[in-house]
Amino acid sequence: MSNDDLFRGANCLGYALGRDQYTQLNKQGEEGGGDNIINFYKPSLMNDLRIVRAILKRYPQWKKSSRSKMVLGKVYIAFRYGDGDFHFMKRDMEGSWTHKPGWQDIQEISEDKVFADGWSRLPWNRNPYNSRIFIFELKE
C-alpha cells in the first residue's frame, strides 16, 4: 500500500501527524472542523505566538525548533499560515521534504521551496502562506 493510499483522507495537518484524517485547528488550537478556525489572515508577532503556543499545547509530541538545529535522523514539520489558511510540510529522517495539499496526493518538495520567501505559488491555494516559517521537531 502506498503512502497516498494510507493518507487518502488526510489533509496537510493529518499527514504531518501521521493520521489518515482531515484535521483542522479551531480557536483553542484543538482539532475541530467547520469554520471555527484560528485567525490565519494577518501574520503578526502576537498571532504567531498565539498560534505556536496553541499548536505546542495540542501536540506535545512536537517541540519548537529552527532550520539551523535540523539534523538527519529526526523528523521535522514546517508550518506557515496566511490569508485564512495554514499549511504543514514534513521532513523525514533522511532529510526529504513532503507535503499533502488538501485532498491531493502526497508530493515531494525541495528544501529550497520549503524555505522560500512565501508559499504563494503552491497550486492548491491561490492565497499565499506568508507568515514566518515555524519548525517543529518530533520528540523521540
pLDDT at 74 over 80: yes
Q: What is the pLDDT of residues 82-100, one digit of tens each?
A: 877 788 999 999 999 999 8
Q: What is the DSSP string of 122-140?
A: -TT-SS---S--EEEEE--
pLDDT at 15 over 60: yes
The pTM assigned to this predicted structure is 0.81
> Alpha-carbon distance 82 to 124, whole Å?
14
pLDDT confidence of residue 29: 41
Domain limits of the chain?
3-138
C-alpha cell at 111: 528544501
pLDDT at 7 over 90: no
